[in-house]
Amino acid sequence: MTGTVVTVTSGKGGVGKTTAVANIAVALASEGKKVVCIDGDIGLRNLDVIMGLENRIVYDIVDVVEGRCRTRQAMIRDKRLPELFLIPAAQTRDKNAVSPSDMVRLCDELRAEMDWILIDSPAGIERGFRNAVAPADRVLIVTNPEMSAVRDADRVIGLLEAEEKPAPSLIINRLNPNMVRRGDMLSVDDVYDLLRIDVIGIVPEDENVIVASNRGMPLALDGKSKAGQAFRNIARRLNGEQVPFIDLESTSLWDRLVKLAGRK
Amino acid sequence: MGFFERLTGKKSARSAKERLQLVLIHDRTDLSPAMLDVLKDDLIAVISRHIEIDPNAVRIDLTREGREQRLVADIPLRPAVRRRAN
């Protein structure tokens, strides 16, 4: 087995990287794939709480890298999906405890037994970002349709180009279709026109994302929500399937009727 | 219609896109508008040593095609007929 290493990064913080990793991982594992997520944000770990696995941490990535435990021992198995694992970040360690070559070595070991290795990159373009990107076969850039997120995404794309990494794909997260329709939010076409990289996912803004994180139950687990569906579609596209995008922006006749009815 | 929209006659997404287009070009090339002006003056000086041009008609722009930026200089030449007549 030769697993694929997918790094999820963004430049800007708070755009939904961790949510994307948790949901794509859950979606891939639901399709029967063996998946391990690595939290690359040493000192500010969060993937554990988003996945609902925070109470089961014994060892973390620094323990693995420094040889205090075997890799298997640091892999927390998700009880809901037996082929889904998490390697948590260390919370109390300095972020320089792990190097890019440590990450390459760890991922090479994991490739042998996993289908997918998903790395949740920290925000920024420093050491943690370099660690997360070093072993990547594919890079997914998460952005929001908003000035600073798009600008930072462009910086990251430029850095990846300079390092001759494979061309990244874009996830446009937290799109608010009503605001796009009103002309108060950049559309998918606008963001694509600015960044010019392949779009692999469009995720609508969805209150259920917060509810899901409150419960530690990623949306893609069962969700009928649109965001959950969008993340499942991203997982299928990663698997090479052609999946049409959910139409979020167009104003259908029904939408217009609803609007008219609400306006009286 | 919101306050800013009335002021500028423009939807905010449109402003965002136009502003980002400029910001991204300068981020990608590491060229500030001020540096572009200096470059333009140098270019005019060098070209003027060889041919007669109208410095006020010179335009220097950064344009983009996909993820590539291009420096485009438009330098209208003074007609040769007039030069010969002088």
Integer Cα distance of A31 and A175 in angstroms = 26
Are B64 and B78 in a shared domain? Answer: yes
**Same domain for B43 and B77?**
yes
Chain B environment of A183 (Cβ under 8 Å): 11-14
Residue type, A46: N
Contacts of A176 in chain B (CB under 8 A): none
Whether ipTM exceeds 0.90:
no
Whole-number Cα distances in Å, B31 to A2, A93, B4: 43, 39, 30
Q: A183–B11: do the CB atoms touch at under 8 Å? A: yes
Domain total of chain B: 2
Q: What is the pTM of this model?
A: 0.87
3-class state of residue A82 by DSSP: coil
The owner of tokens 């998946």 is A35
- Do residues A223 and B49 lie in contact, with contact meaning Cβ atoms separated by under 8 Å? no
Instruction: Specify whether B49 is located in the same domain as B69.
Output: yes
Q: How many domains does chain A have?
A: 1
Residue B7 pLDDT: 65
**Residues spanned by the domain of A81:** 4-263
User: What kind and span of H or E run contains A84?
Assistant: strand A84-87
> Same domain, yes or no, for B8 and B37?
no
Give alpha helix (H) positions in chain B: 3-8, 12-29, 33-48, 80-85
Task: Kindly state whether A186 is in contact with chain B, defined as any CB-CB distance less than 8 angstroms.
Answer: yes
pLDDT per residue rounded down to tens, chain A (264 residues) = 699 999 999 999 999 999 999 999 999 999 999 999 999 999 999 999 999 999 999 999 999 999 999 999 999 999 999 999 999 999 977 878 999 999 999 999 999 999 999 999 999 999 999 999 999 999 999 999 999 999 999 999 999 999 999 999 999 999 999 999 999 999 999 999 999 999 999 999 999 999 999 999 999 987 789 999 999 999 999 999 999 998 776 656 666 566 566 543
A180 part of contact set with chain B, CB < 8 Å: yes
If asked whether residues B73 and B45 sit together in one domain, one would say yes
Chain A partners within 8 Å of B17 (Cβ):
186, 190, 193-194
Cα of A163 to nearest chain B Cα, Å:
15
- Domain of residue B39 covers 31-86
* CATH number assigned to the domain comprising residue A88: 3.40.50.300
CA–CA distance, A159 with A162 (Å, rounded to integer): 5
Same domain (yes/no): B41, B78: yes
Residues B86 and B51 in one domain: yes
B21 contact residues in A (CB cutoff 8 A): 194
Taking CB atoms and an 8 Å cut-off, how many pairs form between chains A and B?
45
* A18-to-A41, A136, A161, B29 alpha-carbon distances in Å: 10, 17, 23, 31
Distance from CA of A260 to the nearest CA of B (A): 18
Q: Which residues have a Cβ under 8 Å from the Cβ of A242 and sit 6 or more positions away?
A: none
Cα distance between residue A35 and residue A22, in whole Å: 11
Partner residue opposite A196 with nearest CB, options B14, B16, B66: B66
* Partner residue opposite A196 with nearest CB, options B19, B23, B67: B67
